[in-house]
Amino acid sequence: MSSASRVLPGFGLSLGFTLAYLSLIVLIPLSAVFFKTATMDFERFWSVVASDRVVASYKLSFGMSLLAAAINVVFGLMLAWAIVRYSFPGKKIVDALVDLPFALPTAVAGISLTALYAPNGWLGQLLEPLGIKIAFGPYGVLVALVFIGLPFVVRTVQPIIEDFDIGFEEAAASLGASRWQTFRRVVFPALLPALLTGFALAFARAVGEYGSVIFIAGNIPFVSEITPLMIITRLEEFDYEGATAIASVMLIVSFILLLVINLLQGWTARSTRRSA
């Protein structure tokens, strides 16, 4: 029977502190964006958020974030599968290092990836003769976003593969299914909610990412400027209104993504419970 426990103390104190701290640090400051935006007239707002250069940045940020998340879904699934299902030397180290993009400060990742893919870098000099230019262009953005998004997919899918009851695979095999049929019809559907959640998490992170991208992107107007950079640019010009207008667009996107992720996580939890 779940009811408020009357014997445990501290409800008022803990909830009161939680709400106060949440309001002071998060809610009130965030609301400043919308209050500030609300004081702008619509034409001014629109001229900022729909200007050609900003629209180009949306296209780059969203396009590359989608592409990066998709790449991470493919390779993240393979990596999670390998870590759970196969034994290979150095597996524990790989498992631990999967979280590196999460633990490594983004500025460090940024300069390191830049040095790696710059025309004179370890990988850049191999790619340049082939006419492939990564650093200081849109594909540099993609590389950075792939880097920071990887753990989101692996760590969302990995526990689902770990908990997946092998009885399902044995049942499918006993019913005559091939290994590929079993994967496609039994395993993959069970992993799908987690894959989509991982995709959404990686995408959400990528859209807002700044530190790792800014070094490698080259920041060429209309070509390789990401949306967060547009906010910074406005701030450096002391155009607070303009910065806030773009921030409000990004915040709305964040809220929508948060909602989508919540729904996906609910779906993942439900489908795991069903198959358990």
Partner 1 sequence: MTSAGSPLAGRLSVSSTHFEDRLATRDSTFVKALILTLSLSFFALFVVLPLILVFVEAFRKGGETYIASLTDPDAISAIKLTLLAAAIAVPLNLIFGISAAWAIARFEFRGKQFLITLIDLPFSVSPVVAGLIYVLLFGAHGWFGGWLQANDIKIIFAVPGIVLATIFVTFPFVARELIPLMQSQGREEEEAAIILGASGLQTFWRVTLPNVKWALLYGVILCNARAMGEFGAVSVVSGHIRGETNTMPLHVEILYNEYQFAAAFAVASLLAFLALVTLFLKTYVEWQVERNVAVENDK
Partner 2 sequence: MSIAIQSIAKSFGSFRALDDVSLDLPRGELVALLGPSGCGKTTLLRIIAGLETADAGRILLDGQDATEKHVRERQVGFVFQHYALFRHMSVFENVAFGMRVKPRKERLADTEIRRRVNELLDLVQLGWLKDRYPAQLSGGQRQRIALARALAVEPQVLLLDEPFGALDAKVRKELRRWLRRLHDELHISSVFVTHDQEEALEVADRIVLMNRGRIEQVGTPRQIYEEPATSFAYSFIGNVNAFHGKIEGNFVRVGGDLLPHARTDLTDGEPVVAYARPHDTEIIGDAPEVAGVAARVNRVLSNGGISRVELIANGPERGGAKDYFEVEVSSEELSRMALENGQRVRLRSRRLSLFRDQASG
Q: Where do contacts with partner 2 occur on this chain (CB under 8 A)? A: 1, 3, 5-7
**The residue type at 36:** K
25 binding partner (options partner 1, partner 2, none; Cβ < 5 to 8 Å by kind): partner 1
Compute, in degrees rounded to 10, the torsion defined by CA atoms 163, 166, 168, 169: 130
Nearer to partner 2, 7 or 103 (CB): 7
272 binding partner (options partner 1, partner 2, none; Cβ < 5 to 8 Å by kind): none
# residues near partner 1 by CB under 8 A: 109
CA-based nearest residue to 67, from 132, 151, 134, 146: 146
- Residue 169 as a binder of partner 1 (CB under 8 A): the answer is yes
Nearer to partner 1, 113 or 138 (CB): 113
Question: Rounded to an integer, what distance in angstroms lies between the CA atom of residue 155 and that of residue 58?
Answer: 28
Among 49, 73, 142, 172, binds partner 1 (CB under 8 A): 172
- Residue 142 as a binder of partner 1 (CB under 8 A): the answer is no
Give the number of other Cβ atoms within 10 Å of residue 67's Cβ: 18
Question: Rounded to an integer, what distance in angstroms lies between the CA atom of residue 213 and that of residue 72?
Answer: 17
Question: Rounded to an integer, what distance in angstroms lies between the CA atom of residue 118 and that of residue 129?
Answer: 13
Name the segment binding partner 1 (CB under 8 A); options: 17-25, 46-54, 126-134, 217-225. 17-25
Rg (CA), the chain: 23
Closest separation in Å from C-beta 2 to partner 2: 8
84 binding partner (options partner 1, partner 2, none; Cβ < 5 to 8 Å by kind): partner 1
172 binding partner (options partner 2, partner 1, none; Cβ < 5 to 8 Å by kind): partner 1
- Residue 86 as a binder of partner 1 (CB under 8 A): the answer is yes
- Residue 66 as a binder of partner 1 (CB under 8 A): the answer is no
SS3 78: helix
Question: Rounded to an integer, what distance in angstroms lies between the CA atom of residue 139 and that of residue 129?
Answer: 16
